[in-house]
Structure 1
Amino acid sequence: MRSHSHTASAVTTQSEAYSPCENCNVAQMSLCHALSCEELRELSAISTSLEVGRGVTIINETDSADYLFNVTAGSIKLFKLLPDGRRQMTGFLFPGDFLGIAMNDLYAYSAEAIEDSRLCRFPREKLEGLLSRLPQLENRLLNMVSHELVLAQDQMLLLGRKTAVEKVSSFLITLVKRGGESSADKHLVPLPMGRSDIGDYLGLTTETVSRTLTNLKKQKIIAIPSGGGIEILDQESLNELAEGLD
């Protein structure tokens, strides 16, 4: 069963003679990290810039895994379709994250843009050809795959052992680690996904997610600015809640 999201009729721009990778604002976090200028040009030569709007499907589960992607702006949600048509959220991707790694010839999950996003798209066969010639690129990709496995293990812990407040607190800590605007005593982290997506990811109802966030706000551990996102006011207390130490 396919997602009901818009078809990925995105705007694409072919790479020019110069390498746009050299000026990428997420290069230090992405697949391109540690490549020389010449190697970046080789990678750029097989890449296409892809801009997708909110709600656009980037890949569909069970489709042929012909492309891989690097997220350079925006945010993406990953999900699997259950036999009854429901969606199980499996993760969220942000700038610097890699998308589309498959163990066989088919994508194992679907991906949809949460907001207007931008990605670099690489044909799988051409990227595999580069991997055989550029050991730094291959090592970087292996590191990113290892990171995905760690995240999957963390997700299993979230779903299996933690309480609602521990799950929500852990999720917010993850967002803090991914970055955001920071000052000496607080962090403002984006929250582009809706409460229902968070609940699906954490194995909670939308109401439980909203109630837990409200309770954290009442305890002055977080604030919820009118402009969006979550402001972490007391990260030490949030850490303790995430670890079940309250």
Structure 2
Amino acid sequence: MQRLKPEQSVFHEGDPARRVFMVTHGALKLYTLLADGRRQITGFMFPGDFLGVSIDEEYAFTVEALEDTELWWFSREAFDRFISDHPQVERELYRLAAHELAEAQRQMVLLGRKAAAERLASFFLGLLDRAERASGKAETCFDLPMSRIDIADYLGLTKETVSRMLAHLRSLRLIRLQAQNRVEVLNRSGLSEMADGMSADHIN
């Protein structure tokens, strides 16, 4: 098992891909550095997610803990043997890969076509859906372990815009902050309409 404190890295972009990891506790962010030095966060990982499952010889991104995090790790050779002996796990990995591809496609639409408030609403709905998959029941709240700047780097916005859009969603009574890192959804259908660009109240 590997334990990480906030801001500690699991691995860095370009490191040899020798291990596969599974998140058992906490949360992580995945990011890559652009040619001009800017950071693009490409995703967030939570308990049950796998890292490093790739045919490439190097990791394609850097992974860093958002909070106290625990991971199980396996050598790639041991992981390949385990998969060969447990076909049901291989099927689950295919399912996860398909889900990640769908998420990547949604992210492209989000960054390319949606206004700022729509992006944040879509992001929050995704976190709520994940909370429901983890608990197996309907939820109205979800944790927000990432910082405002992390959200901005994921959504292609500035930190100031994220804070402004957060205040806007609160003013419409779509969400409420139970704490700095805990969000309650007050109006899920309204948040969905915002995410789909159907609300006349959205702003850029």
TM over 0.5: yes
Which residue of structure 2 lines up, in the alignment, with residue 69 of structure 1?
21
Contact conserved, 1:223 with 1:230, CA < 8 A, in 2?
yes
Out of 47, 53, 68, the position equivalent to 1:95 is 47
CA positional deviation for 1:50: 1.4
Root-mean-square deviation (Å): 1.9
Which residue of structure 2 lines up, in the alignment, with residue 108 of structure 1?
60
AA of the residue aligned to 2:92: R
Contact conserved, 2:131 with 2:139, CA < 8 A, in 1?
no
Moved over 4 A (4+): none
* Larger deviation, residues 124-133 vs 220-229: 220-229
Which residue of structure 2 lines up, in the alignment, with residue 228 of structure 1?
181
Contact conserved, 2:128 with 2:139, CA < 8 A, in 1?
no
Partners of 1:118 and 1:72 lie apart in 2 by 6
Which residue of structure 2 lines up, in the alignment, with residue 196 of structure 1?
149
AA of the residue aligned to 1:215: H
Contact conserved, 1:221 with 1:237, CA < 8 A, in 2?
yes
Out of 98, 110, 113, the position equivalent to 1:161 is 113
> Larger radius of gyration, structure 1 or 2?
1
* Aligned-partner SS, 1:107: coil
Contact conserved, 1:185 with 1:233, CA < 8 A, in 2?
no
Please give the residue correspondences for 1:51-70 in structure 2 after superposition, counting only pairs within 5 Å: 51-70=3-22
CA positional deviation for 1:135: 1.3
- Number of residue-to-residue matches in the alignment: 197
* Aligned-partner SS, 1:245: coil
Partners of 1:203 and 1:227 lie apart in 2 by 21
* Aligned-partner SS, 1:179: helix
| Structure with higher RCO (Cα < 8 A, 6+ apart) | 2
CA positional deviation for 1:87: 1.3
- State the TM-score, normalizing by the size of structure 1: 0.76
AA of the residue aligned to 1:108: A
AA of the residue aligned to 2:59: Y
Which residue of structure 2 lines up, in the alignment, with residue 212 of structure 1?
165
Alpha carbons of structure 1 residues 133 and 228: separation in structure 2 relative to 1, 3 Å: closer
- State the TM-score, normalizing by the size of structure 2: 0.91
Please give the residue correspondences for 1:72-151 in structure 2 after superposition, counting only pairs within 5 Å: 72-151=24-103
Contact conserved, 1:186 with 1:234, CA < 8 A, in 2?
no
Partners of 1:240 and 1:51 lie apart in 2 by 40
Partners of 1:235 and 1:109 lie apart in 2 by 33
* Aligned-partner SS, 2:123: helix
- What's the % identity of the aligned pairs? 44
Contact conserved, 2:118 with 2:196, CA < 8 A, in 1?
yes
Contact conserved, 1:50 with 1:121, CA < 8 A, in 2?
yes
AA of the residue aligned to 2:167: T
* Aligned-partner SS, 1:61: coil
For structure 1, list consecutive stretches of 5 or more residues without a partner in the other structure: 1-48
2:167 matched to 1:237?
no
* Aligned-partner SS, 2:37: coil
CA positional deviation for 1:186: 6.8
